[in-house]
Structure 1
Amino acid sequence: MSRKYQLSYDAINVKKDFSDSYVEARRYLLCVLGNTGYLKISSYCESTLIIEYDQMQSELFHYLKTNLAKYFHYSVCLVAISESGVGFINHSQNVHLNLRLKLELKNISCDNLKKEITNY
């Protein structure tokens, strides 16, 4: 059974840490998440991602703390699921944000990040 996590984030100091570029901050964040081997990632509102994995991710919280805490304020939680396996998540979708994310992920390059990402 797949498991979903909700990650909300905000860069701490974009000017100092990412040369005043929110695009660069988001690229770093998406590259960090890319190392985790997610099945699917979605975004229906700014600064929040829904990340789906094929199973529980016991190392995810520690991995995110190691790689994100210096640069982002963030909150991550496991989405509860019912006994029938349905996730307890509801959102008012902005489908354009999710399409933008899909395009971003298709064209992302994690080269030259200027910041180290640890192995997952």
Structure 2
Amino acid sequence: MKLTSEFFGRKYHLSYDVINCIDDFKDNYDLAKEAILISLRRHGATSVKSPCESTIIFVYPNGKFDIEMLEQELKPHFFFSLCLVDKNQESNHLEKIHYNYDLNKSLQEMWENVKSKISQKN
């Protein structure tokens, strides 16, 4: 079952590689992923999924997502590809995903932890 935000929102596909994990994230890949999640939360993403390592699919609630601002935040630390997932005439996203469910479960836990970190800063 789709979340309301997923049905009405705009879905994006982000694939990334860390430029220098040792220097920027203390050689901790999870810290790098957390940095991306923090940026996505700050920009208003409402949900995330991770079908495979180095890929995050996220939903933004409307068409006002500032892709340029996110690019500026990610560019110093990541190589990436960020694309809008198109919809067909029935408003279904055109995508096929074969999930690593354990990886996605870990991402959901990290996503919830990031929410509390963002709330504490405000």
Q: What TM-score, normalized to structure 1?
A: 0.83
Q: Contact between 2:15 and 2:55, CA under 8 Å: does it hold in 1?
A: yes
**Aligned pairs, number:** 110
More helix by share: 2
Residue of structure 2 equivalent to 1:94: 100
Q: How does 1:17-36 map to 2 (within 5 A)?
A: 17-36=24-43
How far residue 58 of structure 1 moved from its aligned partner, in angstroms, is: 4.2
Identity among equivalent pairs (%): 33
User: 1:78 Cα shift?
Assistant: 0.3
Partner residue, 2:59: 52
Superposition deviation, residue 46 in structure 1: 0.6
Q: Tell me which residue corresponds to 1:104.
A: 110
Report deviation, 1:68.
0.5
User: What do residues 46-78 of structure 1 show as CA deviations (whole Å, max 9, x unaligned)?
Assistant: 11111112212341x201211000100000000
* Structure 2: gaps (5+ residues): 1-7
RMSD across aligned C-alpha pairs, in angstroms?
1.6
How far apart are the structure 1 equivalents of 2:100 and 2:27? 26
Q: 1:81 aligns with which of 77, 87, 90?
A: 87
Consecutive unaligned residues of structure 1, counting only runs of 5 or more, are 111-120
